């Protein structure tokens, strides 16, 4: 790998001169500038980011932690972040958190080691305390899927309870009386909050709720199929199912249909997230929209902004320009929206 010295030698100048043409810093003789540029071009020279970041106090890189790669929900989340990064010319370091708190925290710490001063995390298993202690040490640390009071200004979250409430309210209005729940085994509060919302809707409508009609599984299609089987096998009576996400809803529908149950005529099925797929599976999913792309974008903006502020405060902002990072209206709590289609 070529270094700045190699270029300097080849061009017959000093390293500093090469550095100058690289950064357009102080004026360089046009002649030598062109010569150096030519050599760099010929040799395909690319400055070593690590060395640069060592003197610059960090390269422009944002770390992203998602629980897994294959879930389209997280792809959408990443896409939201990526959009912001393009604007602010920031690179993405993507890490997969995996299943245990240990791996999840390791992923975050690795990002820190990589000098990602901005980090956006969808934390599935880590505890609030663990995340708080990380946040205290990392100014640009932002959570995208939970609300932790102590670090509320570093959280972007969805009103999950309202989501559950919306779903159940809608179903009750459709005259559905026995709402089953298919929840996920994610180690986070989301499922519980949504269930609380479902209960609240029942209370508001003065309809009793059968608490035993609940099945828990992995938050994907297979999990949904499995959960539906459990529900059927345990002889639960239900005319509607509220699912943790769209993928589970699809699995539930599939299992129901395989058992000769018509959706939505006999049983309504509601998804959650409103992934693109919700609009083109059959029947098209009635679901609760989770604006994850916007939320992720906002989280990225927030993280970048916090870092910027921190560096300015520390006196690092020598480059002058504030790099166009804007947090906008800085709304950090998002509201879910009911999307009515065909499945319920």
Partner DNA sequence: TTGTACGCGTTATCAG
Partner DNA sequence: CTGATAACGCGTACAA
The answer to whether 303 and 143 are in contact (CB under 8 A) is: no
Q: Which residue has the tokens 């792309």?
A: 293
Q: Is 38 in the site for its own copies (CB under 8 A)?
A: no
Q: Interaction with its own copies in 69-88: which residues (CB under 8 A)?
A: 69-70, 72, 75-76, 78-79, 82, 86
Q: Is the separation of the CB atoms in 174 and 344 below 8 Å?
A: yes
Residue 309 CA to residue 305 CA, distance in Å, equals: 6
Which of 159, 164, 132 is closest to 148 using CA atoms? 132
Task: Return the residue of 24, 26, 41, 113 that touches its own copies, per CB under 8 A.
Answer: 113
Binding mask 194-213 for its own copies (x = CB under 8 A): --------------------
Residues in the chain: 344
- Answer with the entry of its own copies, DNA, none that 19 interacts with (C-beta below 5 to 8 A by kind): DNA
Nearer to its own copies (CB atom), residue 59 or residue 261 = 59
In this structure, the number of other CB atoms found within 10 A of the CB of residue 199 comes to 18
Q: Fill in the DSSP letter of residue 273.
A: B
Q: What does the alpha-carbon distance between residue 163 and residue 335 come to, in Å, rounded to a whole number?
A: 8
CA distance linking residue 91 with residue 144, whole number of Å: 18
Mutual angle of helices 72-87 and 292-314, in 10-degree steps: 40
CB of 309 to DNA, least distance (A): 20
User: Which of 9, 115, 174, 210 touches its own copies by CB under 8 A?
Assistant: 115
- Is 309 a binding residue for its own copies by CB under 8 A? The answer is no
Q: Which is nearer to its own copies, 33 or 83 (CB)?
A: 83
Q: Which residues bind DNA (CB under 7 A)?
A: 1, 3-5, 13-17, 19-20, 22-23, 25-33, 47-48, 51-52, 54-56, 318
User: Per rule CB under 8 A, is residue 312 in the interface with its own copies?
Assistant: no
Contacts of 47 (CB under 8 A, 6+ apart): 4, 22
What does 309 bind: its own copies, DNA, none (CB cut-off 5 to 8 Å by kind)?
Answer: none
Which residues, 218 to 257, sit near its own copies by CB under 8 A?
221, 250-251, 254
Chosen from its own copies, DNA, none, partner binding at 277 (C-beta under 5 to 8 Å by type): its own copies
Query: Does residue 35 touch its own copies according to CB under 8 A?
Result: no
DSSP letters of 286-314?
A: BEEE--HHHHHHHHHHHHHHHHHHHHHHH
* CA pair distance 133, 137, nearest whole angstrom: 7
Q: How far is the CB of 142 from its own copies (least distance, A)?
A: 18
Name the minimum Å distance from CB 161 to its own copies. 29
Q: How far is the CB of 44 from its own copies (least distance, A)?
A: 5
Cβ 119 to its own copies shortest distance, Å? 12
CA atoms of 121 and 127, how far apart (whole Å) = 13
Residue 175 contact, options DNA, its own copies, none, Cβ 5-8 Å cut-off depending on partner type: none
Instruction: Map tokens 């000093």 to a residue.
Output: 14
CA atoms within 13 A on the CB side of 323: 21
Which residues are at the interface with its own copies (CB under 8 A)? 1, 44, 46-51, 53-54, 59, 68-70, 72, 75-76, 78-79, 82, 86, 91-96, 109-110, 112-115, 133, 137, 221, 250-251, 254, 276-277, 280-282
């Amino acid at each position: 790998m070529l270094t700045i010295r190699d270029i300097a030698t080849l061009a017959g100048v000093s390293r500093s001169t090469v550095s100058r043409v690289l950064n357009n810093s102080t004026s360089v003789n046009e002649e030598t500038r062109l010569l150096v540029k030519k050599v760099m071009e010929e040799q395909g020279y690319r400055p070593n980011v690590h060395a640069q970041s060592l003197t610059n106090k960090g390269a422009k890189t944002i770390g992203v932690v998602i629980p897994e790669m294959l879930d389209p929900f997280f792809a959408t989340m990443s896409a939201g972040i990526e959009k912001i990064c393009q604007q602010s010319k920031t690179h993405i370091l993507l890490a997969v958190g995996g299943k245990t708190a240990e791996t999840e925290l390791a992923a975050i710490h690795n990002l820190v080691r990589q000098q990602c001063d901005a980090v956006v995390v969808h934390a599935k298993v880590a505890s609030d305390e663990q995340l708080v202690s990380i946040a205290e040490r990392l100014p640009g640390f932002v959570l995208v899927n939970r609300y932790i009071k102590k670090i509320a200004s570093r959280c972007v979250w969805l009103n999950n309870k309202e989501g559950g409430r919306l779903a159940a309210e809608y179903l009750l209005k459709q005259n559905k009386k026995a709402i089953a729940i298919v929840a996920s085994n994610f180690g986070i509060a989301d499922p519980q909050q949504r269930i609380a919302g479902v209960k609240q809707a029942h209370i508001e409508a003065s309809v009793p709720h059968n608490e035993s009609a609940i099945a828990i599984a992995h938050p994907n299609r297979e999990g949904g199929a499995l959960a539906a089987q459990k529900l059927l096998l345990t002889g639960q009576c239900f005319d509607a199912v509220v699912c943790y996400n769209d993928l589970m809803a699809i699995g539930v529908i599939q299992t129901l249909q395989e058992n000769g149950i018509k959706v939505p005529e006999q049983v309504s099925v509601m998804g959650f997230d409103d992934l693109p797929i919700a609009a083109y599976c059959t029947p098209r999913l009635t679901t609760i929209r989770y604006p994850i792309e916007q939320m992720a974008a906002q989280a990225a903006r927030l993280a970048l902004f916090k870092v910027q502020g921190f560096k300015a405060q520390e006196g690092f902002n020598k480059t002058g320009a504030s790099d166009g990072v804007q947090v906008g209206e800085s709304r950090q709590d998002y509201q879910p929206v009911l999307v009515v289609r065909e499945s319920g």
